[in-house]
Amino acid sequence: MICIVALIIFSILGIFSATHRQMAKEALDCVFRRVTLRPCNTGFKEKIKSHMVAKLLNRSTFLARAFNRYYEVFAWIFFILMIASTFYVVKGGYNYYLYGSCNGLNQSGFCAFDPKGENNKVTEINASCGIEEKSEKNVSLDGVDLSSFPTKQVGAKDTIVLIGCYECDYTRKAYPDIQKLVREKKTNYIFAHYPAKENTNFLSEVGYCVYKEYGDRFWSFNDYLFTVDKVEIYQSEYINTILKNFDFDISKINDCVNDSATKEAVTNQVNQLRKTHLYGTPTVFINGKAFVGPKPYRVYKSVLNKFIIF
Amino acid sequence: MLDYEKIKKDFLLVSKQIKGKPIVYFDNACMSLKPRQVIDAMNEYYFEFPACSGRSSHKLGEIVTKKVREARQIIAKFINAGEQEIVFTRNTTEAINLLAHTFPWVKGDLVLTTDKEHNSNLIPWQMLVKNKGIRHRVVKSKDDGTFDLEKYKELAKEARLISMVYTSNLDGTTIPAKEIIKIAHENGALVFLDAAQSAPHKKIDAKDLDVDFLAFSGHKMLGPTGTGVFYAKYSLLEKLEPFMVGGDTVEYSTYTKHEMLKAPEKFEAGLQDYAGIIGLGEAVKYLEAVGFDSIKKQEYELNKYITDELSRWPKIKIIGPGDPALRSGIISFYIDGVDMHQFALMLDEMSNIMIRSGQHCVHSWFNDKKIYNSARVSLYFYNSLEEASVFINSLDKIMKII
Ligand SMILES: Cc1ncc(COP(=O)(O)O)c(C=O)c1O
């Protein structure tokens, strides 16, 4: 028992130090019963035990005696803790690979691989959207009508939906990855602007109108809004310049933006988005599966891969 | 009187610490520490004249030849032997094998050993039983671990060779060698003494003992590792046929024949460990300067102190006689039901106390007595009472938990 525990511990320590590598080797021998206690040879177990008891003896006779007597019990406890923690580490690693978080998809608890939780950060959506507890379990596309949003239908079986906001850092972080994924995996794509930040709320209408008036020319405009410096999109005057640069008819777009039907349509869009129970941007749906916060590219991609990693 | 300040200067390890605690080296029966002088002598060879001895007539060759010759004389004199009567080997084991392989055996010859032989003085005979059809018998010790002369007298009548451990590495007892040899000779037998544990601790006088063959290791008596000596009376040595031959063993050779050199050269095949031999000569000088009287006195005092203290714990059983005067520098002890390896490991971990545990290569005795293993403290003159009390204090702690 102790051999297995020691093997695991020393193997890990062995990465950093040669002495521990030697111990790991002894532990391995011990596991495979190559070194057993012989009258002229110390067994590995006995060695470990003696070292620990002696260390304790220098501090407290009581502890040393207890340890000496209940050594096997301690060994079992260690073993169980070890197995449990190994299980969690492996599971954490697996989750991190697949979902960008040790604790599972969109879970924001501490993760050693992503200590700052970068992969789960979102721009929170103000309280108006929900009495409901924020939980990714509730986030779904069920009963949500996305037909009015900019859509690229290429007849693929996979569909990616990106809900983000132009001004939000985390959406901006995820945006290029999503574009790349759509391109690489040739999926259908729906983009929905969620007005999470005041400065750029007005862009919902602008985007709506550009798509309505110019169809597929919307996409390069959209790319631009996500990549240009944020301050350039805070004000409508700047937007006019941008629209002009894209060769869009400014007055036509402005008329559309000021049209009450547009306002109604955009409000309607936001209401649809709220039905997803989203609590932050970016929220990405890949074939209906929600990813909240900017995930590493591999996480998004793994959903569309045939065999997880390729 | 021992000059402890000088000892500290000569044996750097004596005042060295590991993890902030002094080293207590009590494994001298296995390997002794080496004084600076021995190491310097070896370094001198490597730095100043790292050449061949006996063969090359250039300046460096001549220095080595001279130094090796001097060492041989010093070492021979150390056991009161003639310069031509000692053969350098790697250790005691090799010396015993030399004897076993060169002795003119006749089928049915009887070899007698004690019941406390190191494997080195047991396995060679067992091999000969198998390969040459000799017989091997064991003279069992008395209950207190001392030599049983009566039993021996009986068995000696038939013996061809008596091969016995002079001082036991198991319990430190010394056999009455002179009497044993006398009885053997009366019965026409020859005697070999395994002096691995005697040479470091007591004066050996090969002539006075009238012993026929004897061997000891340099590394247990302040000398370099891998050095040993085989002694034989010259008349006997000349009669033995070397089993390892080649360079340095012949006077001349043609494609079909050769003329052997005289002993001891004919036994020292190939280039030798010159640095080791020179170092061993230096070790002998050092030992003689300290003097066996002082060595014995110091070992006895420490052995007595430890033996007395151990009697506080009735659970602890000392192997061999109770009287420390009969146990040289050795205290071998065990506790029923306790693995003494753990004991030794704990002492090492707690206070850098280095002792040996196990069966000390005397498996046969342990198997016969059904004792699992023992811990062995083996002392040398550079050990101090202070170290002995560190040992007792740590032992005290361990005894509280077992
Ligand atoms: C009594 C005795 N004989 C022989 C030997 C073997 O010595 P070496 O290993 O130097 O050949 C030892 C070593 O411990 C010994 O104590």
Is B317 contained in some domain? yes
- The pLDDT tens digits of the residues spanning B326-338 come to 999 999 999 998 8
Per the prediction, chain A carries an average pLDDT of: 81
Is B223 in the same domain as B364?
A: no
Phi-psi region of B118 (alpha: psi -120 to 50; beta: other; left: phi over 0): beta
**Hey, what are A40's tokens?**
């002229």
Give pTM, 2 decimals: 0.73
Residue B128 exposure: Cα atoms within 13 Å on the Cβ side:
27
Best of A26, A42, A55, A67 to substitute, by most chain B Cβ atoms within 10 angstroms, is A42
CB of B227 within 6 A of ligand 1: the answer is no
Question: Strand runs (DSSP E) across chain A, as ranges?
Answer: 123-124, 151-152, 159-164, 188-193, 280-281, 283-286, 289-292
Segment B178-187 mean pLDDT: 98
Note whether A287 and A301 are within 8 A (CB): no
Q: Name the residue of chain A whose CA is nearest to B400's CA.
A: A61
Is B359 in the same domain as B238?
A: no
Task: Give the domain range for residue B43.
Answer: 38-289
CB of B169 within 6 A of ligand 1: the answer is yes
Predicted local confidence at residue B215, as pLDDT: 98
Is B337 in the same domain as B277?
A: no
CA of B215 to the centre of ligand 1 (A): 10
Q: How many residues does chain B have?
A: 402
Note whether B319 and B375 are within 8 A (CB): no
Q: Tell me whether A65 touches chain B (CB under 8 Å).
A: yes
Is B315 in the same domain as B394?
A: yes
Is B209 in the same domain as B318?
A: no
Is B173 contained in some domain? yes
Predicted local confidence at residue A79, as pLDDT: 80
Residue B60 identity: L
DSSP per-residue codes, A131-194 = SSPP-TTT---TT---TTS-EE----S-EEEEEE-TT-HHHHHHHHHHHHHHHHHT-EEEEEE-
Alpha helices by DSSP H, listed for B79-122, are 92-102
pLDDT value at B260 more than 50: yes
CB of B167 within 6 A of ligand 1: the answer is no
Q: Tell me whether A251 touches chain B (CB under 8 Å).
A: no
Is B32 contained in some domain? no
Is B257 in the same domain as B303?
A: no
Is B216 contained in some domain? yes
First to last CA, chain B: 39
- The pLDDT tens digits of the residues spanning B261-307 come to 999 999 999 999 999 999 999 999 999 999 999 999 999 999 999 99
Helix axes of A61-69 and B385-401: crossing angle, nearest 10 degrees:
50
Is B33 contained in some domain? no
Write down the catalytic residue from B361, B388, B390, B395: B361
Is B14 in the same domain as B55?
A: no
Is B209 contained in some domain? yes
CATH number of the domain where residue B159 is located: 3.40.640.10
Query: Number of folded domains in chain B?
Result: 2
CA of B294 to the centre of ligand 1 (A): 24
Q: Which of B224, B254, B289 is the last residue of a domain?
A: B289
pLDDT value at A127 more than 50: no
Note whether B276 and B218 are within 8 A (CB): yes
Report the C-alpha gap between A192 and A162 in whole angstroms: 6
pLDDT value at A129 more than 50: no
Is B304 in the same domain as B367?
A: yes
- The pLDDT tens digits of the residues spanning A146-204 come to 888 888 887 878 889 999 988 888 888 889 888 888 888 888 899 998 887 777 778 88
ipTM, two decimals: 0.74
Residues near A66 by beta carbon (within 8 Å), at least 6 away in sequence: none
Is B31 contained in some domain? no
pLDDT value at A51 more than 80: yes
Q: For B192, list phi and psi in degrees, rounded to 5.
A: -115, 135
Predicted local confidence at residue A83, as pLDDT: 83
Catalytic-residue membership of B361: yes
Ligand 1: nearest atom to the Cα of B95: 11
- The pLDDT tens digits of the residues spanning B24-65 come to 999 999 999 999 999 999 999 999 999 999 878 899 999 999
Predicted local confidence at residue A131, as pLDDT: 44
Q: Is there a cis peptide before residue B264, judged by omega within 30 degrees of 0?
A: yes
Q: Which of B289, B321, B343 is the last residue of a domain?
A: B289
pLDDT value at A132 more than 50: no
Q: Which of B289, B324, B348 is the last residue of a domain?
A: B289
Is B209 in the same domain as B303?
A: no
Using CB atoms, pick whichever of A41, A43, A65 lies closest to residue B401: A65
Q: Tell me whether A63 touches chain B (CB under 8 Å).
A: no
Whether A42 sits inside 8 A of B400 (CB atoms) is no
CA distances, A41 to each of A49, A106, B357 (Å):
15, 53, 9
Please tell me which residue, A152 or B208, carries the higher pLDDT value.
B208
Q: For B74, list phi and psi in degrees, rounded to 5.
A: -60, -45
Is B54 contained in some domain? yes
Top mutation candidate among B30, B89, B93 for ligand 1, by most atoms within 8 Å of CB: B93
pLDDT value at B192 more than 80: yes
pLDDT value at B208 more than 60: yes
Q: Which of A108-112, A190-194, B58-62, B139-143 has the lowest mean pLDDT?
A: A108-112
Residue A193 identity: H
Q: For A157, list phi and psi in degrees, rounded to 5.
A: -80, -20
Q: How far is B374 from chain A (nearest CA, A)?
A: 9
Q: Name the residue of chain A whose CA is nearest to B356's CA.
A: A40
> In which band, very low, low, confident or very high, does the pLDDT at A128 lie, cut at 50, 70 and 90?
very low
Is B285 in the same domain as B307?
A: no
Is B277 in the same domain as B374?
A: no
Q: Reduce the DSSP state of residue A196 to 3 states and report it.
A: coil
% of chain A with per-residue pLDDT over 70: 91
pLDDT value at A119 more than 60: yes
Q: How far is A26 from chain B (nearest CA, A)?
A: 16
- The pLDDT tens digits of the residues spanning A261-296 come to 888 888 888 888 888 888 888 888 988 888 888 888
Predicted local confidence at residue A6, as pLDDT: 77
pLDDT value at B308 more than 90: yes
Is B176 in the same domain as B53?
A: yes
CATH number of the domain where residue B396 is located: 3.90.1150.10
Predicted local confidence at residue A134, as pLDDT: 62
Per the prediction, chain B carries an average pLDDT of: 95
pLDDT value at B100 more than 50: yes
CB of B118 within 6 A of ligand 1: the answer is yes
> In which band, very low, low, confident or very high, does the pLDDT at B79 lie, cut at 50, 70 and 90?
very high
- The pLDDT tens digits of the residues spanning A5-38 come to 777 777 777 777 777 777 788 777 777 765 555 5
